[in-house]
A and B are shown apart, each in its own frame.
Chain A
Amino acid sequence: MEFNQILQYTLSGLSTGAIYALIGIGFSIIYNATGIINFAQGEFVMLGGLLTLSSLQLLKLPLWAAIPVSVAISTVVGVIFERLAIRPLRQPTPINLVIITIGGSILIRGLAMLVWGKDTHAIPPFSGDTPIAIGGATILPQHLWILAITLVIIVFNKFYFYHTISGKAMRACAYNRRAAGLVGIDVKRMVLFSFIISAAMGAVAGIIVAPLTMTAYDVGVMLGLKGFCAAIIGGMSSGISTVIGGLLLGVLESLGAGLISSGYKDAISFIILLLILFIRPQGLFGKADSERV
């Protein structure tokens, strides 16, 4: 086994892992604010990619304008989803909410299929596709974009949750919803915020990966599941542990496919998911009963 092969596996794994991490953080933000596992998270990823495609092709916007437009529209979809499907529930139990998000994801996916058809679409890379060599392994400029944007989002998250009033309020909701409500935090508004943030983040993830993975009405399913795995490994934290969870998942998948057998690639990630759920349900890095933000 040559060194540059291992290096290539690791690099490929890291770039795939960054995508998982980004989607995973979306899962945990909503989970922390609301206690819901939002299985529609993958659909925002899909919407980001497909809306960018439409902005590029139908509205003829340049790429730098198409991205904010599609993030904005996806966020609006997130808001509508929260308003119409989550908020009206009088006595939400977790199981109801989870089922509603699954229903919502099927609905969004179905509508996307009607709007964009069943074909797969390609989006041009942000800055060319000339491979960059790193010590015998190669990555694409788009991979650098993914890593960089993931980094920016993590920093932004950290800042938001620890240095702004609404971020701190959202953390308060995560600790104890009731108590947060009692001290005057508008919990419902925080829930809405959490949907806004994670819809926007999902859309960003969808846009930056689309040039590599292409996009179609059903890309959200698998990416959503992998993001969910990342969030579980990270113990549903919206910080660095979910990111590490995602990267770990990506690298293990890639090494597994390269060194063991590509037939077991998906099995590897789901076995990790099951092991974590059985052995360390609080996540790889969490202490039992620890805070979740």
Chain B
Amino acid sequence: MKKMIPLLSSICLILICATASLASGTIKIGGLFSVTGPASFLGEPEKKTLEMLVKEANEKGGINGMKLEAVIYDTGGDATKAVQLATKLIKDDKVSVIIGPSTTGESMAVIPVAEKEKIPLISCAAGIKITDPVKQWVFKTPANDHVAAEKILNYMTAKKQKSFALLTVTDGFGASGREQIKVLAKQKGFTIVADEVYGPKDTDMTAQLTKIRGIKPDAIICWGTNPGPAVITKNVKQLGIKTPLYMSHGVASKKYIELAGPESAEGVMLPAGKLAIYDALPKGDAQYKLLKGYDQNYKKTYGVEASTFGGYAYDAFLLVTGAIKKAGATPEQIRNGIEQTSKLVSISGVFTMTPKDHNGLDLSAFEMVKVLKGDWALAK
């Protein structure tokens, strides 16, 4: 019997392969995520989210009676690898749609492939270049950085704060935020009195903040992802700076409050995607139920909190399945279906796509929140 095992298992394997390729009732969804490498904090939750959703959907009988299959590759954050894997997904795996890549650089590299092969691509990266100008086959789910920046500046206008100091991290996220805040500030009549930067691994920003303290701006806007902003929050407390401190949506998670310490973080304001703060949302909010469900399921399956980044893959999945239900399962039909998406309630916001807007989110994707006793509360 022992000798039979390899034989039997190879027969099984052949059968499985055969059924997989023969099954006409399967829709293949490609996933390109940077599960390892520097952007793994994006790719990992995205991959897990997609796997979880595909499994859930199949347990419920699939979409329109067709089973889903996710083919996910790890790009390692490398644009060249992303292009190769995208080609592999299209040519070898014959997927109908691709979700990802996780970063703007990779997405820009993969776009020509998707356009040429006419396969819809739903990027999970935030860069504005991905969908501006609009490309026929390319969509993206994270809201543009400038939407978050605009949210802060609108809030500051309401609070009559006229001047601010800018403190941004010297990576792609910080550079893009810095650029867009400067443009918006000019449009809205703000004065930027200091324009300081810090390195992603810097451990002490008191020098920059001492300089800012001397200038006495109405507010400080810091644009970065953990741990920098947490260090800055502590430094601000240490220097006794009382100026209102705004952070970007990049730190909209409990982790930030934990790192900075609830006392230091008290009163810090930032625009947050609604997932991070769903507990604080008014009960009537359209997204509330979905957000809670996602967070709880994710926690149950993987033992950690759901993150905004995983939410990008969730959005993409809902866009795809919505399109399949409405329009059909060929790449062409999926693309058309996504473009017709209207008022789709999802994790990052409520999506309404048009031929001119392949992102579909507006200012309502973010809420201004404030740290209050170690938790998020809506900023009034």
Contacts and interface: CB of A to CB of B under 8 A. Distances in A.
A262 B201 contact: no
Contacts of A140: 238
Given A2-B214, A120-B227, A131-B240, A262 B208 contact: yes
Contact of B234 (A9, A129, A209, A257): A129
Interface in B245-282: 255, 258-261, 263-264
A102 B102 CA distance: 30
A28 interface: no
Contacts of A138: 238-240
Nearest to A226: B203
A101 B170 CA distance: 29
Instruction: Decide if the interface of chain A is mainly helix, strand, loop or mixed.
Output: helix
Interface in A196-224: 209, 212-214, 216, 218-219, 221-223
Nearest to B210: A8
A131 B236 CA distance: 11
A5 interface: yes
Nearest to A11: B206
Given A129-B263, A129-B264, A213 B206 contact: no
A36 to B, nearest CB: 25
B196 A262 contact: yes
Interface string A105-122: 000000000000011111
Contacts of B41: 118
B255 A119 contact: yes
B118 interface: no
A237 interface: no
Given A262-B198, A263-B170, A16 B204 contact: yes
A253 B210 CA distance: 14
A140 B206 CA distance: 12
A266 B208 contact: no
A257 B208 contact: yes
Given A16-B204, A209-B203, A258-B208, A214 B227 contact: yes
Interface residues of B, number: 34
B207 interface: yes
A139 interface: yes
Contacts of B237: 129, 131
Contacts of B340: none
A265 interface: yes
A12 interface: yes
User: How big is the A interface, by class?
Assistant: 35 or more
A254 B206 contact: yes
B240 A216 contact: no
Nearest to A219: B201
A122 B259 contact: yes
Given A120-B259, A138-B239, A12 B210 contact: yes
Contacts of A253: 207
Contacts of B261: 122, 129
Contacts of B226: 120
Contact of A265 (B199, B231, B234): B199
Interface in A238-252: none
B115 interface: no
B238 A131 contact: yes
A221 B41 CA distance: 19
Contacts of B199: 222, 265-266
Contact of B211 (A5, A131, A212, A218): A5
A258 B263 contact: no
A222 B196 contact: no
Nearest to A19: B203
Nearest to A221: B201
A258 B260 CA distance: 23
Contact of B197 (A19, A119, A262): A262
Nearest to B239: A138
A122 B214 contact: no
Interface string B159-178: 00000000000100000000
B202 interface: yes
A45 to B, nearest CB: 11
Contact of A214 (B206, B207, B230, B263): B230
B38 to A, nearest CB: 10
Nearest to A255: B207
B180 interface: no
A212 B204 contact: yes
A12 B206 contact: yes
Contacts of A121: 259
A48 B260 CA distance: 20
Contacts of B191: none
Nearest to B200: A222
Contacts of B231: 212-214
A51 to B, nearest CB: 18
10 contacts: A8-B207, A9-B210, A16-B203, A139-B238, A212-B203, A218-B201, A222-B199, A222-B203, A258-B211, A262-B197
**Leading 3 A-B pairs by shortest Cβ distance:** A213-B203, A257-B207, A12-B206
Given A13-B207, A214-B227, A223-B203, 12 more contacts: A12-B206, A12-B210, A15-B204, A120-B226, A122-B258, A122-B259, A129-B237, A131-B240, A213-B203, A218-B201, A257-B208, A262-B208
